[in-house]
Amino acid sequence: MGGSAVPMMLFEDFAADTLLGHHVETADDALFEQWHAVFPDRTGNPSPGGLAMAFAMRAYLTILPERPPGNIHARQRLTLHKAVVRGESIEASLRCVGREMRGDRRKVVLAVDAQAGTQPWFAAEMTILWAR
């Protein structure tokens, strides 16, 4: 597993169209076993969408490991381009799409774009209510 972590970010630190970092790992047996640990009643390969969202969250948590307590994951969207294959190198980039204040709520929109091998794997967007 590899990538770049950034220090704690406050709402004011986010800016639209800013690359926050990368996360890289291999779709190896250990990754698939971790997915099965979360969903023990499933057999065979993980659902392509389920594995993609799990990896999107993994990239987010790896790149932004320090977050203010109390953030709320409000929404997510996923566009899946293909299924990942065991052994492929997977790389994701996390970027800020935008931020917005609504009353006293701080909304941050983050995008995770991932590639498996040489092909696009998925594009995800997460809306997070960012704590103070």
CATH number of the domain encompassing residue 57: 3.10.129.10
Cβ–Cβ < 8 Å for 94, 112:
yes
Task: Count up the domains in the chain and report the number.
Answer: 1
- Residue 78 domain boundaries: 2-129
Q: What is the reported pTM?
A: 0.86
State pLDDT tens for residues 2-55. 666 778 899 999 999 999 999 999 988 887 777 777 766 666 666 777 788 888
Burial 40-58 (b: 16+ CB within 10 A, else e): eeeeeebebeebbbbbbeb
State pLDDT tens for residues 82-117. 988 889 999 999 999 999 999 999 999 999 999 998
